[in-house]
């Protein structure tokens, strides 16, 4: 039963929440009743959605659902323990081999989420006295991993290779680690990976590539950003997530077998956590087959992207230089971004307003995510409504 007078700490939180509300920064959740496709039912209403990272439209693909169902019947729904105890199922082992082969690296290790993979891999590779260098627009999980590692963190201005080189050159740390999103999650631009790798070679640093938004989308057959740039090096530690284009859940790190063996032995977010349900691994093996086979899904994304860009050209909001399915519409002011998202919602279109601290102050935006599940008519509908609102 609630007591009559809330403790002071509750009042303080309530006040802080009210301040967030006043700044247009309060967040709330909506409840979804459908898979994350082009059409979704949210809070009881039907929408055309541009919210999902399910870029290839695989989250409700029949082959993935069938694989998950038959694996559930055979392996149950839970792994029962951590990988190093008795939770490492044959389906996990098989998926790791398939993932490594798919991205062209010798070994891979599954993680529950991209967040856990980044936290784990970075803290296992760098510690006190080491130096970590990260792009200012890197994903929050990379930033948090650096802080947790206790290594010295240098954040370089977005894409500023000259700045990064100066800092790498000046560092006398024993271990240096450069971290980058391959596709920046809120801008959609692609990192200059060949140039970053060249710097890492010159200054003897590791390069950790977070391909959360490139895996499945970039490269031949969706093999990801290393394939896109034709990069290969034992100093690359590759991370990709499996809850976005792959349509399921999870993540993996791939690289030299010694690196992977080190991670198995050292990563706390791997060792001290329950293995993900084997049925997810089965769904992901099925997903890999669809990703590799269905070039039309990536071709569709290209077409929709070109159509959207052409249509946005005459509108008052600037689109950004993105060659990926992430197509942000820059608004600037938090309240204005929220108003635009709300006006679209009233007209049956769902697009998230992204505000600080997810993006820098003054760069609030609508983050339009395209999917192979969209039809050209869907993009036309969005453009028509945006023209009305402009």
Ligand X SMILES: *Cc1c(COP(=O)(O)O)cnc(C)c1O
CB of 264 to ligand X, least distance (A): 19
Of residues 149 and 185, the one with the C-beta less far from ligand X: 185
H helix or E strand, kind and range, residue 64: helix 62-75
Three-class secondary structure of residue 48 per DSSP: strand
CB of 133 to ligand X, least distance (A): 16
Q: Count CA within 13 A, CB hemisphere, residue 191.
A: 37
CB within 8 A of 338, min separation 6: which ones?
24, 353, 355, 364
Sign of the CA dihedral 261, 264, 267, 270?
A: positive
Of 83, 89, 92, 244, which is the active-site residue? 244
Of residues 251 and 308, the one with the C-beta less far from ligand X: 251
Of 185, 225, 285, 287, which is the active-site residue? 185
Active-site residue flag, 322? no
Active-site residue flag, 244? yes
Of 92, 139, 213, 228, which is the active-site residue? 213
Q: Which of 162, 133, 157, 129 is nearest to 145 (CA)?
A: 133
Q: Look up residue 136 and give its two tokens.
A: 């200012």
CB of 213 to ligand X, least distance (A): 6
Of residues 197 and 248, the one with the C-beta less far from ligand X: 248
- Using N-to-C axis directions, what is the helix angle for 193-202 and 161-170, rounded to 10°? 20
> Rounded distance, CA 80 to CA 45, Å?
38
CB of 114 to ligand X, least distance (A): 2
Q: Which of 234, 227, 241, 232 is nearest to 258 (CA)?
A: 234
> Rounded distance, CA 112 to CA 117, Å?
7
Q: What is the rounded (10 degree) CA torsion for 226, 228, 232, 233?
A: -40
Query: Are 367 and 186 contacting, i.e. CB atoms less than 8 angstroms apart?
Result: yes
Pick the binder of ligand X from 225, 241, 285, 371 (CB under 6 A): 241
Measured CA distances, 35 to 21, 31, 342, 351, 354 (Å) = 30, 12, 22, 16, 22
Pick the binder of ligand X from 57, 87, 219, 243 (CB under 6 A): 243
Binding to ligand X in span 177-216, by CB under 6 A: 181, 185, 210, 212-213
CB of 284 to ligand X, least distance (A): 12
Of residues 105 and 386, the one with the C-beta less far from ligand X: 105
CB of 382 to ligand X, least distance (A): 22
- Interface map 106-145 toward ligand X (x if CB under 6 A): -------xxx--x--------------------x-x----
CB of 122 to ligand X, least distance (A): 12
Active-site residue flag, 225? no
Q: Which residue is nearest to ligand X (CB)?
A: 114
Binding to ligand X in span 320-349, by CB under 6 A: none
The full length of the chain comes to 390
Count of residues in contact with ligand X, rule CB under 6 A:
14
Q: Which of 82, 104, 56, 83 is nearest to 284 (CA)?
A: 56
Q: Which of 346, 298, 350 is nearest to 50 (CA)?
A: 350
Q: Tokens 């010694």 — which residue?
A: 258
Is 269 among the residues that bind ligand X (CB under 6 A)? no
Residues engaged in binding ligand X (CB under 6 A): 113-115, 118, 139, 141, 181, 185, 210, 212-213, 241, 243, 251
Residues recognised as catalytic: 185, 213, 244
């Amino acid at each position: 039963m609630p007591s009559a007078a809330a403790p002071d700490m509750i009042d303080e939180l309530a006040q802080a929440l009210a301040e967030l509300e006043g700044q247009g920064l309060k967040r709330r959740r909506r409840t979804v009743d459908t898979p994350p496709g082009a059409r979704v039912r949210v809070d009881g209403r039907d929408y055309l959605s541009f919210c999902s990272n399910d870029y290839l439209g695989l989250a409700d693909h029949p082959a993935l659902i069938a694989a998950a169902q038959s694996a559930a019947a055979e392996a149950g729904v839970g792994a029962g323990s951590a990988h190093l105890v008795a939770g490492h199922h044959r389906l996990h082992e098989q998926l790791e081999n398939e993932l490594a082969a798919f991205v062209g690296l010798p070994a891979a290790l599954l993680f529950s989420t991209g967040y856990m993979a980044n936290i784990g891999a970075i803290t296992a590779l760098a510690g006190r006295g080491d130096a970590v260098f990260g792009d200012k627009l890197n994903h929050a999980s990379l930033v948090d991993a650096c802080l947790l590692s206790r290594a010295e963190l240098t954040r370089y201005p977005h894409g500023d290779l000259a700045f990064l080189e100066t800092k790498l050159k000046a560092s006398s740390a024993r271990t240096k680690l450069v971290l980058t999103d391959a596709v920046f999650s809120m801008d959609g631009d692609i990192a200059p990976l060949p140039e970053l790798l060249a710097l890492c070679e010159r200054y003897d640093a590791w390069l950790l590539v977070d391909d959360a938004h490139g895996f499945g989308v970039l490269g031949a057959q969706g093999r990801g950003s290393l394939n896109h740039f034709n990069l290969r090096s034992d100093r690359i530690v590759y991370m990709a997530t499996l809850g976005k284009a792959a349509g399921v859940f999870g993540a993996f790190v791939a690289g030299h077998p010694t690196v992977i063996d080190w991670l198995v032995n050292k990563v706390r977010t791997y060792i001290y956590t329950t293995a993900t349900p084997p049925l997810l691994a089965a769904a992901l093996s099925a997903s890999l087959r669809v990703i590799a086979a269905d070039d039309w899904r990536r071709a569709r994304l290209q077409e929709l992207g070109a159509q959207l860009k052409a249509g946005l050209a005459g509108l008052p909001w600037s689109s950004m230089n993105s060659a990926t399915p992430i197509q942000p519409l820059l608004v600037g002011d938090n309240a204005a971004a929220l108003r635009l998202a709300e006006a679209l919602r009233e007209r049956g279109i769902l697009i998230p307003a992204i505000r600080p601290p997810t993006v820098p102050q003054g760069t609030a935006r609508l983050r339009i995510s395209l999917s192979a599940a969209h039809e050209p008519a869907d993009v036309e509908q969005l453009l028509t409504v945006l023209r009305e609102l402009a």
